[in-house]
Amino acid sequence: MPVYRPSHFHQLGIKAKKRLSQNFLIDQNILDKLCTAANIQKGDSILEIGPGAGAITEKLLAKGAQVVAVEKDPDLAEKLSRLQNEELKIVCADALNFPLDNLPKKTKVVANLPFHIATPLIERFIRLFPKIASLTVIVQREVGQRMTAEKNSPQYSSFSLFIKAYSTPKYCFSIKPTSFFPAPSVHSSVIHMPLHAFPFPFSEEAFFQMTRTAFGKRRKMLRGSLKELYPKGVLEKGFAGANISPTARPQELTIEDFARLFVECNPTHENTES
């Protein structure tokens, strides 16, 4: 039966565990909007992370999707068996190290992410194009704003650039705490991310070292914040070659601006990660 009201949890013997950041989605309207945001089609391969009580799982199955539901909590994984059919595979495992070898290409990830491990989960799956085609996730509203932030906004950060390096993120909508049980203390958001390969021909990790260093001192001019990575002469040539002001601050640069600066500061840097 659909788990859309708190009373259903008692009937099913389901109790949320705070240590696992369990807040179950119970709003029918939000379930529909989530599936629309993820563009769920009949026959889609879906990896659902943290299915919890199964409300999202049930909606995905109703849409005709083939679902692999990865649930860390053995009690909840056992309760999901009530939904078992040939289109659903329930796996009791930690999604941070769950093996993905058997997933078909173009799998879509749909998840109400546990707040305390949302960032490492996103960091794992966002790099897996074309195995993973898209991520559609529920995260804290503040995190969602950082993920989709544009330059010159207060939320714009090195994490924003990391997300843009592998996807085209879209802030779909916000969710009130009352759409969950138990209700969290903060608002949530749904973020949809169609994935793509890293778009630049150089080392990903070296590039992100530059962006993290720059945003680590976001109030400083780049000529100051980046001096721990590059000599003064290299920076001066880099800014000139990239046509970027040395007095610019990191929040003023797009990902393409940072890429140009990286190339100018690392003229012989090749991508060794492909």
Show Cβ contacts of residue 252 under 8 Å, excluding neighbours closer than 6 positions: 151, 152
pLDDT at 40: 97
pLDDT at 181: 83
Q: Kindly state the average pLDDT of the residues 14-18.
A: 67
CATH topology of domain 6-194: Rossmann fold (3.40.50)
- Residue 273's pLDDT band, with cuts at 50, 70 and 90, is very low
pLDDT at 269: 65
CATH 1.10.8.100 intervals, the chain: 204-265
pLDDT at 256: 98
Render pLDDT for 86-97 as a digit per residue (tens, 0 to 9).
Answer: 999 999 999 999
Residue 69 above 80 pLDDT?
yes
Q: How far is CA 13 from the centre of its chain?
A: 31
State how far the Cα of 231 lies from the Cα of 223, in Å rounded to an integer. Answer: 10
CATH 3.40.50.150 intervals, the chain: 6-194
Please state the pTM of the whole predicted model: 0.92
- Residue 270's pLDDT band, with cuts at 50, 70 and 90, is low
pLDDT at 271: 54
Render pLDDT for 131-181 as a digit per residue (tens, 0 to 9).
Answer: 999 999 999 999 999 999 999 999 999 999 999 999 999 999 999 999 998
Q: Tell me whether residue 199 is exposed, middle or buried, using C-beta atoms within 10 angstroms of its C-beta: 0 to 12, 13 to 18, 19 or more.
A: exposed
Give the CATH architecture of domain 204-265: Orthogonal Bundle (1.10)
8 A C-beta contact, residue 43 and residue 31: no
8 A C-beta contact, residue 138 and residue 121: no
| H helix count then E strand count, the chain | 11, 9
- Measured from the Cβ of residue 97, the count of other Cβ atoms closer than 10 Å reads 8
pLDDT at 19: 66
